C-alpha cells in the first residue's frame, strides 16, 4: 500500500503557540498531526497504519471495529477502508437515530456497514466469547479494537516522537483509550516526560491500562509520565462554558482549531498547568494535535445551546 500518496506526514509540522498570561520563557509547540489527511488524521492514522499493513498481510478483505455515534475512529476507519481497498463494518454503541449525525453519515457514505448494538452488548466487546460470535456472524474479518488501540497502534504512535525534530522537556496528549499516550511513552524510551489528559470522567483507571499496554509492547516499566485527570469537564463529550471560551480564544490567538472532545481539553489542561507553574521555566512543551476536528460539527448544537444560555 502506497500510504504516501494519501498521507502527507511532512505537513505535521511543529507550530509555536501562545497561551495568554503565561511565562514567555516556556516554549510551546503544537505537533500538527491534524494536517496530514482531512479524515484519517492525527492519532487515528498512527493507530491504523500498521493494522492496515497487517490486514493486507493476512489477506483480510474487511475491517471490523467498534465505536460510539460520534467516534473519530469510526470516521477514520471508514475513510481508510475506502482509500486502501477494504470493506468496513462498524459496531455502533446504542440505537440508530435518523437522520444520521455527520460522523455516521460520513462513515456510511464511505461504504461502512453500520451495525447497532445495545449498550449492554457493547460492553462485551473485549470478551473472547463475544469476539467469537462476531467471527461467526461476519466471517473472516480483521478486527480492530475500540479507538484502534492494540500493540500495532502503539508501534504507530511511537513514531510521533521520532518525527519531532527539536529538543523538548514535556510532551502532552489527550487520552481516550490510552493507546496514543502509551505509544508516545514507548517512543520516548525513558527520556523526557509525557503527560496524558483523559477526556473521560474517572480517567485514573487508564493508568493501569497504559502500563499494561507498555509491558506487553516493550516488556518494560516506565516512570516518566503521569495522567492529569481533572480536565474532563464532566465526562466524555461533556463541555462547559469555560472550555468553549478557552477554545475560541486559543483559535483567535494562534489560528489553530481544537475540538471540544479531545484536543480542547488537553490544551486547556496545559494552560492551567502553566498558570500554576507546573512546567519548569525555560522548558519546552509539545502538545500533540491528535486530529478529530470532524467532531466539532457534531458538537455544534451542544455548543450553541451552552453559549446561548
Task: Please indicate whether the domains covering 3-38+150-308 and 42-148 agree at the CATH topology level.
Answer: yes
Locate 49 and state its grid cell.
497504519
Please give the CATH topology (third level) of the domain spanning 3-38+150-308. Answer: Rossmann fold (3.40.50)
Residue whose C-alpha is closest to residue 77's, from 69, 274, 67, 204: 67
Q: Enumerate residues 6+ apart whose C-beta is below 8 A from 202.
A: 229
CA quadruple 87, 93, 98, 103: dihedral positive or negative?
Answer: negative
For 143-205, where are the alpha helices, taking DSSP H only?
151-162, 179-188
Contact 195, 171 (CB under 8 A): yes
- pLDDT computed for residue 144 by the predictor: 98
Where does 18-132 show beta strands of DSSP type E? Answer: 27-31, 62-67, 87-93, 112-117
**Residue 1 confidence (pLDDT) above 90:** no
Tens digit of pLDDT for each residue in 259-284? 999 999 999 999 999 999 999 999 99
**What pTM was estimated for this model as a whole?**
0.95
Model confidence at 2: pLDDT above 90 = no
Predicted local confidence at residue 266, as pLDDT: 98
Domain locations along the chain: 3-38+150-308, 42-148
Q: How far apart are CA 176 and CA 243, in angstroms?
A: 18
DSSP conformation class of 145: -
Pairwise CA distance, residues 159 & 184, whole Å: 8
- Quick one: cell of 9? 506526514
Q: Does domain 42-148 have CATH number 3.40.50.1100?
A: yes
Query: What is the pLDDT of the chain when averaged over all its residues?
Result: 95
Amino acid at each position: 500500500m502506497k500510504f504516501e500518496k494519501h498521507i502527507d506526514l511532512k505537513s505535521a509540522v511543529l507550530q509555536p503557540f501562545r497561551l495568554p498570561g503565561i511565562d514567555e520563557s516556556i516554549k510551546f509547540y503544537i505537533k500538527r498531526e491534524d494536517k496530514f489527511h482531512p479524515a484519517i488524521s492525527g492519532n487515528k492514522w498512527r493507530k491504523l497504519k500498521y493494522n492496515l499493513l497487517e490486514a493486507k498481510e493476512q489477506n483480510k478483505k474487511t475491517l471490523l471495529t467498534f465505536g460510539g455515534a460520534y467516534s473519530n475512529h469510526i470516521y477514520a476507519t471508514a475513510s481508510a477502508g475506502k482509500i486502501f481497498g477494504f470493506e468496513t463494518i462498524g459496531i455502533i454503541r446504542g440505537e440508530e437515530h435518523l437522520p444520521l449525525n455527520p460522523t455516521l453519515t460520513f462513515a456510511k457514505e464511505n461504504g461502512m456497514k453500520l451495525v447497532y448494538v445495545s449498550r449492554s452488548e457493547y460492553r462485551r466487546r473485549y470478551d473472547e466469547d463475544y469476539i467469537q460470535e462476531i467471527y461467526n456472524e461476519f466471517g473472516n474479518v480483521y478486527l480492530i479494537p475500540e479507538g484502534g488501540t492494540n500493540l500495532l497502534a502503539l508501534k504507530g504512535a511511537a513514531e510521533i516522537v521520532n518525527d519531532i525534530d527539536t529538543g523538548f522537556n514535556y510532551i502532552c496528549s489527550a487520552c481516550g483509550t490510552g493507546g496514543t499516550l502509551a505509544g508516545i511513552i514507548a517512543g520516548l524510551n525513558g527520556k523526557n516526560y509525557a503527560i496524558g489528559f483523559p477526556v473521560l470522567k474517572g480517567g485514573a483507571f487508564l493508568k493501569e491500562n497504559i502500563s499494561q499496554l507498555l509491558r506487553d509492547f516493550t516488556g518494560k516499566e516506565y516512570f516518566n509520565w503521569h495522567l492529569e485527570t481533572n480536565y474532563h469537564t464532566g465526562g466524555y463529550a461533556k463541555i462547559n462554558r469555560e472550555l468553549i471560551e478557552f477554545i475560541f480564544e486559543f483559535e483567535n490567538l494562534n489560528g489553530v482549531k481544537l475540538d471540544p472532545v479531545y484536543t480542547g481539553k488537553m490544551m486547556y489542561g496545559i494552560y492551567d498547568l502553566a498558570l500554576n507553574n507546573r512546567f519548569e521555566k525555560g522548558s519546552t512543551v509539545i502538545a500533540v494535535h491528535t486530529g478529530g476536528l470532524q467532531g466539532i460539527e457534531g458538537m455544534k448544537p451542544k455548543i450553541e445551546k451552552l453559549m446561548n444560555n
